[in-house]
């Protein structure tokens, strides 16, 4: 048996999704609702975290361990529905927690929360309700049908979160029935109950590698692919440990064994495209930073060694590097910049418009050529005037009827006259100079051509200069038409590039080690991390830039927290109004995702690691924590509603600003960047910039 296989704790099939297990889940939920009796606000918020953990654990179980045949696949309708139901449940939990934060502030008499008639007595009363009837208060409003015949006029009704859970369990029960039927069919075909000996290789359900638990989900159910993975994991473990990164082997690694890469649906491919990943049709692995889980979906060949190490590089980026290190690495790398148009215009659409514009242009040039031939063949002035009368209405119709070239341009991309948001404004700024070369201004090509083709210009040329006048008019007509055609084709070429991600023009920065690494800082780091561990070719700049950010930069510590905070608000006076009641120093703590500082209720705690940051990063970290404080008072549910109104789906973690993995952290980063580097926030994430501005200016 392979070395790692000796760590196998349990074997044979993964635990099954059964109706009995789902009944146990519901009993566990109801027991939780009955027994949660928190005492005081810290315990109340801890109770909300416990409910959220229940939902997270259930989702992890049904997606990675007790997998149903349909619901565990996000590309199937059942999988999409399950994702949506879990989102609704978690959103409802977040909304109730936000409401509790409001009453916490009322109870503690935070300035501004006595407005609107709220009193400390009301806050204290709500605290007692949470303590006595926590489970009963977990309700949310859901849509309902209006039925005037029965006197039902409300469009919503109040529902307990148990109802949200029941919808999840109902969907899973149907999948459990499918799975049971599949097992019964298998028994009939085998003539007996399947046992371990039925299959040639055992299926390792779960085993440990150091501090890491590896959970195997084998879609074929026969263990054929498991043994090769064990060898690959062993190699990856030895290589990373040899380079000094053995600490990354902890937590959970989900191994979805397969003979091929995970194929993405069209919607998933579009999501990756919006995040900057081009032509991604399949994936080999993922790192879920929120849950701190590595997922490998690649086939069992030697390329998977790099995939495993690459995903562990993501873990190092999110869990072992501070914000100052990540910012330094980002500043060093020459990465692709976010395109102005999130969804690129398809090449075939542009080519079709180009073909039609050229065809329209050929027809117009042929009409001019026909007149030129008739004019030159005329025997006398009377015959010329006859042709002028014949062609004048044709030329007039050419320019006064709806412009077919302009129509084709608009079909490809029509810029708004006024930008409704910063993104539209940037698009307008990028497109309008080219757009107006064709039309919209006195010196635009289409405007000049239209004036030239009107009867007063055409007939006037003959009256003013006879044959010489018409010859000059024809030369100018052909010239203006070519200018107009060129302007239209330039417009198509220009808008076709709006969806392209262009490389940072600063050539002094370091190129990523691969094309894939150019997409964003996290991928650039994961790629160079894998190159470093595997001893693959890198330039000196690439190697030194990687190793330089592994070391944290120290900065001089001020004499006291008070001295630093006073200086901070002098440097950033606009942030003064968001200051909480206390900003205090702590001797210990600072673990997890907030090793330097953390917002806790009505205070911000600063930990020892904070003073190891450089001065610029310290300011960003404190501004980030102020963002958490602002959001805790404003409410996560309101943030979600505001973003959705701006066309942003905040549940799509791959689209969150600054590589963050949840909305709280994304808002905190956006809030800090709004005050410290507003232009960058507006350039990269215009919708988030607008929402942050709306919240702080409310």
For 270, other C-beta atoms within 10 Å of its C-beta total 13
Distance CA 89, CA 52 (A): 9
Residue-level pLDDT at 284: 73
* pLDDT grade for 526, boundaries at 50, 70 and 90: very high
CB 161 within 8 A of CB 92: yes
Among 72-81, 366-375, 416-425, whose mean pLDDT is lowest? 416-425
Distance CA 627, CA 632 (A): 9
The answer on pLDDT for 148 being more than 70 is no
DSSP secondary-structure letter at 211?
Answer: E
Q: Which residue has the tokens 């940051």?
A: 613
Among 15-19, 202-206, 316-320, 476-480, whose mean pLDDT is lowest? 202-206
Distance CA 599, CA 597 (A): 7
Instruction: Classify residue 632 as exposed, middle or buried by CB count within 10 Å of its CB (0-12, 13-18, 19+).
Output: buried
pLDDT in tens, 534-545: 998 889 888 888
Question: What are the angstrom distances between the C-alpha of 595 and each of 547, 591, 615, 625?
Answer: 21, 5, 16, 12
Residue-level pLDDT at 503: 79
Distance CA 316, CA 243 (A): 13
**Mean pLDDT within 675-688:** 85
**Mean pLDDT within 402-423:** 71
- Residues in a beta bridge with 296: 255, 285
Q: How far is CA 142 from the centre of its chain?
A: 27
DSSP secondary-structure letter at 573?
Answer: G
Q: Which of 155, 118, 170, 160 is nearest to 140 (CA)?
A: 160
CB 634 within 8 A of CB 641: no
Q: Which of 244, 192, 289, 297 is nearest to 551 (CA)?
A: 244
Length of the chain: 698
pLDDT in tens, 62-86: 876 677 777 766 656 787 888 889 9
Q: How far is CA 216 from the centre of its chain?
A: 28
For 302, other C-beta atoms within 10 Å of its C-beta total 10
Residue-level pLDDT at 201: 37
The answer on pLDDT for 16 being more than 50 is yes
Among 45-59, 452-466, 523-537, whose mean pLDDT is lowest? 452-466
pLDDT in tens, 466-512: 888 888 999 999 999 999 999 999 988 888 887 777 778 888 888 99
Distance CA 447, CA 222 (A): 72
* pLDDT grade for 221, boundaries at 50, 70 and 90: very low
Structure tokens at 656: 């969150």
pLDDT in tens, 88-143: 999 899 888 888 888 888 888 765 554 456 788 888 889 999 999 999 999 887 77
Distance CA 229, CA 377 (A): 84
Among 183-187, 206-210, 592-596, whose mean pLDDT is lowest? 183-187
DSSP secondary-structure letter at 557?
Answer: P
For 406-422, give the secondary structure using H, E and C. Answer: HHHHHHHCCCCCCCCCH
The answer on pLDDT for 355 being more than 90 is yes
Residue-level pLDDT at 5: 35
The answer on pLDDT for 590 being more than 60 is no
- 243 backbone dihedrals φ, ψ, rounded to 5°: -85, 0
Residue-level pLDDT at 592: 54
CB 610 within 8 A of CB 596: yes
Residue-level pLDDT at 76: 66
In this structure, the dihedral spanned by the alpha carbons of residues 69, 73, 75 and 81, taken in order and rounded to 10 degrees, is 90
CB 252 within 8 A of CB 294: yes
Q: Which residue has the tokens 């470093």?
A: 532
Distance CA 57, CA 168 (A): 13
**Mean pLDDT within 401-411:** 85
């Amino acid at each position: 048996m392979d070395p790692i296989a000796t760590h196998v704790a349990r074997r044979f099939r993964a635990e099954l999704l059964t109706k009995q297990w789902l009944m146990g889940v519901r009993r566990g939920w109801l027991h939780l609702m009955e027994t949660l009796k928190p005492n005081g606000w810290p315990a109340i918020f801890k109770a909300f975290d416990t409910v959220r953990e229940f939902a997270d654990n259930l989702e992890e179980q049904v997606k990675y361990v007790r997998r149903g045949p349909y619901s565990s696949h996000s590309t199937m309708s059942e999988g999409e529905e399950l994702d949506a139901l879990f989102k609704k449940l978690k959103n409802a939990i977040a909304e109730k927690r936000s409401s509790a934060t409001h009453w916490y502030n009322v109870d503690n008499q935070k300035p501004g929360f006595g407005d609107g008639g709220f009193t400390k007595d009301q806050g204290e009363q709500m605290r007692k309700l949470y303590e006595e009837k926590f489970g009963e208060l977990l309700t949310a409003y859901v849509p309902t049908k209006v039925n005037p015949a029965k006197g039902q006029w409300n469009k919503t009704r109040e529902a307990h979160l148990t109802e949200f859970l029941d919808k999840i369990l109902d969907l899973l029960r149907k999948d459990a029935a499918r799975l049971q039927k599949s097992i019964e069919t298998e028994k009939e075909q085998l003539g007996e109950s399947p046992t371990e000996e039925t299959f040639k290789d055992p299926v390792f359900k779960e085993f440990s590698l150091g501090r890491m638990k590896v959970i195997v989900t084998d879609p074929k159910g026969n263990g054929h692919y498991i043994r090769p993975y064990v060898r690959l994991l062993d190699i990856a473990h030895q290589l990373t440990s040899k380079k000094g990164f053995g600490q990354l082997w902890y937590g959970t690694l989900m191994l979805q064994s397969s003979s091929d890469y995970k194929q993405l649906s069209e919607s998933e491919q579009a999501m990756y495209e919006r995040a900057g990943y081009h032509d991604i049709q399949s994936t080999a692995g993922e790192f879920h930073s929120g849950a701190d889980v590595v997922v490998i979906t690649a086939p069992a060949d030697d390329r998977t060694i790099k995939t495993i190490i690459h995903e562990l590089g993501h873990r190092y980026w999110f869990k072992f590097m501070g914000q100052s290190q990540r910012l330094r690495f980002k500043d060093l790398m020459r990465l692709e910049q976010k395109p102005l148009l999130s969804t690129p215009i398809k090449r075939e659409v542009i080519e079709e418009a180009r073909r039609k514009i050229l065809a329209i242009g050929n027809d117009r040039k042929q009409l001019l050529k026909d007149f030129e031939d008739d004019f030159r063949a005329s025997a006398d002035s009377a015959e010329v005037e006859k042709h002028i009368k014949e062609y004048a209405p044709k030329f007039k119709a050419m320019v006064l009827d709806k412009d077919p070239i302009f129509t084709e341009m608009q079909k490809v991309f029509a810029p708004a006259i006024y930008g409704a948001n910063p993104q539209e404004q940037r698009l307008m700024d990028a497109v309008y100079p080219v757009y107006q070369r064709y039309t919209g201004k006195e010196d635009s090509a289409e405007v000049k051509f239209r004036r030239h083709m009107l009867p007063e210009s055409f007939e006037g040329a003959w009256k003013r200069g006879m044959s010489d006048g018409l010859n000059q008019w024809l030369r100018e007509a052909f010239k203006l038409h070519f200018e107009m055609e060129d302007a239209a084709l330039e417009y198509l070429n220009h808008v076709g590039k709006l969806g392209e991600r262009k490389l940072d023009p600063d050539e002094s920065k370091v190129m990523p080690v691969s094309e894939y690494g150019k997409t964003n800082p996290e991928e650039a780091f994961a790629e160079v991390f894998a190159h470093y561990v595997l001893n693959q070719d890198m330039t000196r700049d690439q190697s030194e830039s990687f190793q330089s950010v592994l070391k944290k930069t120290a900065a001089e510590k001020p004499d006291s927290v008070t001295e630093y905070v006073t200086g901070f608000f002098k440097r950033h006076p606009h942030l003064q109004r968001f200051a909480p009641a206390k900003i205090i120093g702590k001797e210990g703590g600072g673990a997890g995702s907030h090793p330097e500082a953390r917002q806790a209720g009505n205070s911000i705690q600063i930990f020892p690691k904070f003073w190891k940051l450089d001065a610029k990063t310290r300011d960003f970290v404190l501004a980030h924590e102020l963002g958490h404080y602002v959001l805790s008072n404003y409410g996560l549910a309101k943030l979600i509603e505001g973003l959705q109104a701006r066309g942003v789906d905040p549940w799509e973690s791959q689209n969150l600003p600054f590589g963050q993995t949840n909305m709280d952290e994304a808002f905190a980063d956006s809030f800090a960047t709004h005050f410290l580097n507003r232009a960058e926030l507006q350039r990269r994430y215009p919708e988030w910039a607008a929402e942050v501005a709306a919240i702080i200016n409310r």
